[in-house]
Amino acid sequence: MAFDPPHRFYLLTSPRTASNLVIRMLNLPKQSSLFHSSQDEYFFGPALGCKFQHETIGKHIDELTELKRNELKHCYQTCFDALSEHVNAAAAQGKNIFVKEHVGWLADPVAETKFIFGEHSTSQPSWTVQMSYPSTVSALNKTILPDEFLKTWLPTFLIRHPALSFPSIYRTTIDNEGREAARADPAHVLEMTMHWSRTLYDWYIQQDHLTRFNAENGTNWPVILDADDVMLNPQVMNRYSKIVGLDPSILRFSWEATSGDELEQMSRTERRMRSTISASTGILKEKASADLSIDSEMSKWMTEFGEEEAQKLASWVEAAMPDYIYMRARRLGPV
């Protein structure tokens, strides 16, 4: 790598994009360059829990009571404070950190309202967490995090073909909530999209600070990983591990299935979300999108979910494809 530690690496993912596979392959617990603690992913997961608890997902920001707004802001701040503690602890040890987060969980609730109801549907200013130093939020930054904080990270975006990730999200929703609840789940409009990844990627490529980290081997930040390459091309993961300062010699391409005791320690939802990686003993290459036909997938969705839900999935996939094609064209290659 062309720079010295400590540095902060952000793996920005979406549900069902094979992020658990990436983490397993990188063998993070054995990587000596990294700071290790009890948590290194999903720091903003509790904010999503708050949204479900207070039934604010998919609601117009102007319709929320002041109490609900303040509760939600408090949830975001608590998540940010936990992440900041993690960052500070790593800095004290002079260690790199590698944190995984679903990029949609970082979305500013005002930006969510504008995404669902239209750009001019609210006049509320963007929400942002509070830091110990002055901060700003620029136009393309649709997250709850200030520009100044985002600029301290070296970001990697993990993407996967929407015709694979979106129906997988729907299946997990059915398993976790039931078929009827899945049909009406307000979170789907915010999850079945690549808008949040594309917008934050476009914000990052406009930031001059990343150019000084561009590696001599031609790597440009932000980095994009496509799940197909993760599954089918070991050279990509080998190259990526070097880019983020990890030891490629200890990457894992096979492992033991998760034990029953480990599964018992997971929540029901976590067991479902990790079911594929937990049951596997290696990379499942059949999960890649090679030779995928959306028309063929559509027929499968109609059988599995019914015509109405299949049509929803098809519309979400169609809307997401331009962002996927745009980002895939910029993905990391093997050399």
- pLDDT tens digits along 68-100: 999 999 999 999 999 999 999 999 999 999 999
* Pair 110, 119: CB distance under 8 Å: no
d(CA 197, CA 219): 19
Phi, psi (5° rounding) for residue 64?
A: -80, 140
Q: Is 320 a residue whose pLDDT tops 50?
A: yes
Q: How confident is the model at residue 284 (pLDDT cuts 50, 70, 90)?
A: confident
pLDDT, mean of residues 168-190? 92
> 229 burial class (0-12, 13-18, 19+ CB within 10 angstroms)?
buried
CATH class assigned to 8-250+285-328: alpha beta
Higher pLDDT, 288 or 124: 124
CA trace torsion 156, 162, 167, 168 (10° rounding) = -20
pLDDT reported for residue 274: 57
pLDDT reported for residue 273: 53
pLDDT by residue (tens digit) across 26-53?
A: 999 999 999 999 899 999 999 999 999 9
Q: How confident is the model at residue 3 (pLDDT cuts 50, 70, 90)?
A: very low
pLDDT, mean of residues 171-183? 92
pLDDT reported for residue 60: 97
pLDDT reported for residue 285: 74
| Max Cα distance, the chain (Å) | 55
Tokens of 161: 């073909």
pLDDT reported for residue 335: 75
pLDDT, mean of residues 98-107? 98
pLDDT reported for residue 215: 58
d(CA 160, CA 164): 7
pLDDT reported for residue 219: 79
User: Cα–Cα distances in Å, from 3 out to 244, 276, 287?
Assistant: 10, 36, 35
Indicate the pTM of the whole model.
0.91
pLDDT reported for residue 1: 39
Phi, psi (5° rounding) for residue 300?
A: -65, -40
Q: What is the mean pLDDT of the chain?
A: 90
pLDDT, mean of residues 201-218? 81
